[in-house]
Amino acid sequence: MMDKRLFSQIQPVKLYFWLSIALGGLAGLFLVAQAYFLSQTINDVFLEGQDLDGVSLWLAGLGLVAGLRLLASWGSGAAAHHVSGVVRYGIRDALVAHLFALGPAFSRRESSGELATTLTEGVEALDGYLSEYIPRLALAVLVPVTILLFVIPFDLLSAVVFLLTAPLIPLFMILIGSMAGRITRQRWDTLSRMSAHFLDVLQGLTALKLLGRSQAQVRTIRRISDHFRRSTLEVLRIAFLSALALELLATISVAIIAVEIGLRLLYGGIDFERALFILILAPEFYMPLRALGTSFHAGTEGKAAAERIFTILDAPVTQWGSQPAPAAPFSIAFESVTYRYEGNGHPAVEDVFFAMAPGELVALVGPSGAGKTTLASMLLGFIKPQGGTIRINGVPLADIDPASWRRQVAWVPQHPYLFNTSVLENIRLARPDASIEAVKHAAELAFAAEFIALLPDGYETVIGEHGARLSGGQAQRIALARAFLKDAPVLIMDEATSSLDPAQETLVQQAVARLVEDRTALVITHRLNTAYQADRIVVLAQGRVSQIGTHTVLRAQPGIYRSLVANYTGVEAGA
Look up residue 451 and give its amino acid. F
Cα separation, 366 vs 369, whole angstroms: 8
Q: Would you list the DSSP string of 508-535?
A: HHHHHHHHTTTSEEEEE-SSTHHHHT-S
SS3 547: strand
Whether omega before 135 lies within 30 degrees of 0, making that bond cis, reads no
pLDDT of residue 197: 66
SS3 429: coil
pLDDT of residue 575: 36
pLDDT of residue 1: 54
Low-confidence ranges of the chain (pLDDT < 50): 571-575
Cβ-based burial of 263 (10 A; exposed 0-12, middle 13-18, buried ≥19): exposed
CATH 2.40.10.220 fits domain 4-313: no
> Where are the CATH 1.20.1560.10 domain residues in the chain?
4-313
pLDDT of residue 212: 66
Cα separation, 203 vs 415, whole angstroms: 15
Name beta bridge partners: 395: 392
DSSP H or E segment with residue 574: none
Contact between residue 250 and residue 169 where contact means Cβ atoms under 8 Å apart: yes
Q: Collect all residues with Cβ–Cβ distance below 8 Å to 210 and sequence separation of at least 6.
A: none
Q: Pick from 168, 331, 322: which is nearest to 245 by CA? A: 168
pLDDT of residue 397: 95
| pTM reported for the whole predicted model | 0.75
Side-chain-side CA neighbours of residue 333 (13 Å):
10
Could you tell me the sign of the dihedral formed by the alpha carbons of 141, 142, 145, 151, in that order?
Answer: negative
Phi and psi for 549 in degrees, rounded to 5? 165, -175
Whether omega before 170 lies within 30 degrees of 0, making that bond cis, reads no
Count, in order, helices (H) and strands (E) of the chain: 24, 10
Look up residue 42 and give its amino acid. I
DSSP H or E segment with residue 391: strand 387-392
Phi and psi for 244 in degrees, rounded to 5? -65, -45
Look up residue 226 and give its amino acid. D
Render pLDDT for 353-369 as a digit per residue (tens, 0 to 9): 999 999 999 999 988 88
SS3 544: strand
Side-chain-side CA neighbours of residue 354 (13 Å):
24
Could you tell me the sign of the dihedral formed by the alpha carbons of 112, 113, 119, 122, in that order?
Answer: negative
pLDDT of residue 242: 74
pLDDT of residue 208: 65
Task: Give how far Cα 36 sits from Cα of 29, 62, 435, Å.
Answer: 11, 9, 73
Count Cβ neighbours within 10 Å for each residue of 172-204 and write b for 16 or more, e otherwise: bbeebbeebbebbbbbbebbbbbbbbebebeee
pLDDT of residue 45: 82
Contact between residue 171 and residue 201 where contact means Cβ atoms under 8 Å apart: no
Cα separation, 514 vs 441, whole angstroms: 13
DSSP secondary-structure letter at 46?
A: I
Could you tell me the sign of the dihedral formed by the alpha carbons of 526, 531, 535, 540, in that order?
Answer: positive
Cα separation, 519 vs 480, whole angstroms: 14
For the beta carbon of residue 313, count every other beta carbon within 10 angstroms: 16
Name beta bridge partners: 206: none
Cα separation, 292 vs 162, whole angstroms: 17
Q: Which CATH class is domain 415-487?
A: alpha beta
Render pLDDT for 372-408 as a digit per residue (tens, 0 to 9): 989 999 999 999 999 999 999 999 999 999 999 999 9
Name beta bridge partners: 491: 410, 521
Q: Collect all residues with Cβ–Cβ distance below 8 Å to 121 and sequence separation of at least 6.
A: 191, 195, 305
Contact between residue 156 and residue 164 where contact means Cβ atoms under 8 Å apart: no
> Where are the CATH 3.40.50.300 domain residues in the chain?
415-487
DSSP secondary-structure letter at 212?
A: T
Cα separation, 517 vs 500, whole angstroms: 23
pLDDT of residue 569: 67
Report the length, in residues, of the chain. Answer: 575
pLDDT of residue 435: 93
Q: What is the largest CA-CA distance in the chain?
A: 123
Cα separation, 116 vs 124, whole angstroms: 12
